[in-house]
Amino acid sequence: MTCPRCNSEDTRVMVKSPVGDEWEVYVCNTCYYSWRSTETPDIHDVFKLKPEDIPNLQVIPPVPPLDK
């Protein structure tokens, strides 16, 4: 299964519906996008990600230096 946002193939079933066999939720192990089987994700181009760009996203909050 391909992540609809970053096209990574490293995705998995996160959870199945607690009641009945109604849906599953999937998650991408690369960009953490998640979606339900009852949805049809339509990611706007502006929100698409390339896996190689993820490390360069802004870091919030910045990681401080370790105390010496």
Partner 1 sequence: MAKVYEGLREFLQTLEEEGQLVRVKDEVMPEPDIGAAGRAAANMKGNAPAILFEKIKGYKGKVVTNVHGSWANHALMMGMQKDATTKEQFFELNRRWDKYPVEPEVVAREDAPCKENVVDENINLFEILPLYRINDQDGGFFISKASVVSGEPDDPENLDKMNVGTYRIQVKDVDRIGIQALAMHDIAVQLEQAERKNEKLRVAIALGNDPIITFMASTPIAHDQSEYKFAGALRDGVPVKLVKADKAEHLYVPASAEVILEGYIEPRVRECEGPFGEFPGSYSGARNQCVVKIDHITHRTDPIFENLYLGIPWTEIDYLMALNTSVPLYKQIKEGFPELVALNAMYMHGHVAIISTKCRYGGYGKGIAFRLLSTPHGMPYTKVVIVVDEYVDPFNLEQVMWAIASRVKPDKDVAIIPNCPGMPLDPSSNPAGMHTKMIIDATTPVAPEPNPRSVELLEPPVGTEKWEEILRDLMK
In the complex, which residues of this chain contact partner 1 (CB under 8 A)?
A: 5, 14-15, 17-20, 22-23, 25, 27, 30-36, 38-39, 42-44, 46-47, 49, 54-55, 57-67
CB of 27 to partner 1, least distance (A): 7
Q: How many CA atoms lie within 13 A of 1 on its CB side?
A: 18
Please give the Cα distance from 14 to 54 (Å, whole number): 21
Residue with tokens 């998995």: 12
- CB 31 to partner 1: min, Å: 5
How near is the Cβ of 49 to partner 1 at its closest, in Å? Answer: 6
- Does residue 16 contact residue 24 with C-beta atoms inside 8 Å? yes
